[in-house]
Amino acid sequence: MNMLQIKYFITAANCLNFTQAADLLYITQPALSRQISAMEKELNLQLFIRSNRSVRLTPAGKVLFKDLRNLHSGYERAVERAKNAQQGLSGQLRVGILDGTQVDDLLPPVITFFSKTYPYMEISLEYHSFNALAALLYDGGLDLAITLFFDIQDRFNLRFQVLEKGRDHIAVLRSHPLAARDAIHLSDLRDETLIIVAYNDSAISPKLILDACQAQGFTPKVRFSPSIQTSMLWVQSGLGVAMLDSRNMLRSYPYIKFLDVDQVSDPSLTAAWHQDNANPALPIFLEALSRSCAAP
């Protein structure tokens, strides 16, 4: 008994009409009858009671129908998973997102597309800091990182694709005197407490900011934070101001204002991956993500 015969038996048992079952199977009714007879002979079981007016399952046929239906469904799912795996469309795609980055307008269409088109592909999403994202790309813990261009552009063996242009802003409480303005110069922060992520969170961001301040002729009063999330919390608490990118979640908070400022870096939203990453789902995800970013 093979899988084709099992399919024939299940179809006939569902229809309880050999002519209808044969039509569904795109074979002739005599051909279906021969296959069922061959199964009955091999199993030494009568599966159907056939008369001129009706077809019924025997007790043995009912038991076999119940068990083989589950077996055949499992077989079809296994074959589909194997085909998807061969095409790189099953398994897991691990995506890391920079702490504090707002992606609720970008990722849902991508996740919906994958869940409908590739139901056996699991998308894993998690937030990390600058340095952690890069480290996970290098050691294989992530397939893709959604981060900022300045932090990824010069990293060895990492490839990237800019998704959306961004710019630097200064985040302040709306009760702060600077909030009366829409744009400031970096030198306007001379007397402010500037919240900057520490070097163990980003090897690049604090250097860019401090070098830019010194180029403007001053050394800022700095409060180093252990993470972007902590920087955001400190801004909300009035402990200082922070330079954040256009995609940072604080921009949507009603009590926070984002001020344009002299450009210190290129904080464009960027997708990055290790050049040796062989996950076949990666280019499909990147294409869907690019479409989502380009959508109006």
Q: Is pLDDT at 262 greater than 90 in this prediction? A: yes
Report the amino acid identity of residue 168: D
For residues 212-219, give the mean pLDDT: 94
How many whole angstroms separate alpha carbon 172 and alpha carbon 228?
A: 15
- Check residue 13 and give its pLDDT: 92
Domain topology for 168-260? D-Maltodextrin-Binding Protein; domain 2 (3.40.190)
Reported pTM: 0.70
- Check residue 44 and give its pLDDT: 93
CATH of domain 3-86: 1.10.10.10
Q: Could you report the per-residue pLDDT of 67-123, keeping only the tens digit for each?
A: 998 888 888 777 776 666 656 566 789 999 999 999 999 999 999 988 888 887 889
Q: What is the dihedral of CA 25, 31, 36, 37, to 10 degrees?
A: 180
- Check residue 182 and give its pLDDT: 96
CATH of 91-165+269-294, one of 3.40.50.2300, 3.40.50.1010, 3.30.470.20, 3.40.190.10: 3.40.190.10
Residues of the chain within CATH 1.10.10.10 domain(s) are 3-86
CA distances from 263 to 182, 189, 210, 285, 294 (A): 15, 14, 13, 31, 24
* Radius of gyration over every alpha carbon of the chain, rounded to an integer in angstroms: 31
Residues of the chain within CATH 3.40.190.10 domain(s) are 91-165+269-294, 168-260
